[in-house]
Copies of this chain bind each other. A is one copy, B any other.
Amino acid sequence: MPELAAEVAFEVPFFDVDVMDVAWHGHYVKYFELARCALLRKIDYDYPKMRDSGYAWPVVKCYLKFVRSARYGQQVVARAILRDYKNQLRLDYEIRDAASGERLTTGYTVQLAVAMPTGELQFVSPNCLIERVEKACEN
């Protein structure tokens, strides 16, 4: 499987920083999502396209491992890498300091396709995902 990845650069905003003077750990789920949306756009399957395709893709698992904390104003890069798409949509994530490249946080999410409006869970990914991934990997 060829690597499909996307990155987003941003800085840690003041409103994400907690009393310990670092980004509160829960905000990294947002940072993962920023990178995930960038990757999904690369395959032309971001949220509005998902909705139009007749499937919702709820996150069913999310794991975060915190290595180093991030301070207010720190420049960081969030990277999402596609790891599986045939039976589930699994992405791995890395948040790094933009300057040093030091890893701050890693993790993954798993999403499953649900046919709308019946709400039926799909145990094999629908073609609307598979074709998009394969087309993007050809390029």
Contacts and interface: CB of A to CB of B under 8 A. Distances in A.
Contact of A48 (B20, B30, B63, B73): B73
A10 to B, nearest CB: 8
A15 to B, nearest CB: 5
A131 interface: no
A28 to B, nearest CB: 9
This protein's copies in its complex: 4
A47 interface: yes
Interface in A31-77: 33-34, 37, 46-48, 56, 58-66, 69, 72-73
A99 to B, nearest CB: 17
A15 B15 contact: no
Q: Is the interface of A mostly helix, strand, loop or mixed?
A: mixed
* Interface size classification for chain A: 20 to 34
A21 interface: yes
A42 to B, nearest CB: 14
A95 to B, nearest CB: 14
A14 interface: yes
A47 B19 contact: yes
Interface of A: 13-15, 17-21, 24-26, 29-30, 33-34, 37, 46-48, 56, 58-66, 69, 72-73
